[in-house]
Amino acid sequence: MALPPITDYASLVANLSDYIARDDLEGYYATFIQLAEKRLNSGLKALGMQGVSALTTNAAGQALLPGDYIEWLSLGWVDAGGKQRHLRYVEPNSPEFTFRHRPNGSPQFYTISGGLVRLAPGRSLTLELVHYKRIPPLTVDAPTNWLITTAPQLYLYATLGEAYVFQKDEARAAEWLKMAEERLGQFVQESSSGKVGRRAERAAEDQAEAIAAKALN
């Protein structure tokens, strides 16, 4: 009997069952899928993973990151005049974040540490964070997501790789994970033409540095 096309959780499980051909592993399929998603989250950056979240900082300029956050793309806010303002990312221990900014002025920089967005100088603001987010997990109750719709082979290869890692079959695990890696590269390349606004442009960074320099004078 022909295998069903992979379109959701149930059809992915049906294909896994046929490929693995072991009745004693069926209870582990959900774990294999979860581990595959974790692996893909660390290597996949595609348009479907981009999200926009509104964050409100406290008086110290801190706000919790979204629960599905992986990596930032940009952060900004709209000022009282309706103008979009962009912040520049710096490391937590950088001079810009620790002292090279105007303490009583508008926020110029931000950093991310300890699960928080932190502004310098700290202010209470409503921010717009553009970021990469985790792949929505596939489950019986949530049987589809954007990735299985657009790249079902990637899901299958990565999950089979995890299944053979569990079985300690290094040769087969390496084979399936290599196929997953190759398909991942193809998918990222196919998706790259649709990506938008990755990181702050150099011109914006130069402007922020000029503002910071003035703050020291």
Domain coordinates in residue numbering, the chain: 9-44+137-192, 49-133
* Contact present, 36 and 155 (Cβ < 8 Å): yes
C-alpha distances (whole Å) from 27 to each of 162, 175, 176 are: 14, 23, 21
Residue 119's closest CA among 72, 34, 197, 61?
A: 61
* Identity of the amino acid at 76: G
Among 11-15, 69-73, 124-128, 189-193, whose mean pLDDT is lowest?
A: 189-193
Residues contacting 3, CB < 8 A, separation 6+: 14, 15, 18
Local structure of residue 49 (DSSP, 8 states):
G
Residue 175 pLDDT > 90: yes
Ordered DSSP codes for 12-33: HHHHHHHHH--GGGGGGHHHHH
Q: What is the pLDDT of residue 193?
A: 55
Given the structure tokens 């320099």, which residue do they identify?
A: 213
C-alpha distances (whole Å) from 1 to each of 18, 99, 114, 200 are: 10, 68, 52, 52
CA pair distance 133, 135, nearest whole angstrom: 7
Residue 4 pLDDT > 70: yes
Give the residue, 79 or 162, on which the prediction is more confident: 162
Encode pLDDT of 93-126 as tens digits: 898 888 887 777 789 999 999 999 999 999 899 9
Q: What is the pLDDT of residue 211?
A: 43
Reported as a pLDDT band with limits 50, 70 and 90, residue 31 is very high
Q: Calculate the average pLDDT of the chain.
A: 86
Residue 197 gets the label, from left (phi > 0), alpha (psi -120 to 50) or beta, of left
User: What pTM, to 2 d.p., does this model score?
Assistant: 0.74
Residues contacting 41, CB < 8 A, separation 6+: 70, 134, 135
β 69-78/88-89 pair status:
unpaired
CA pair distance 116, 64, nearest whole angstrom: 5
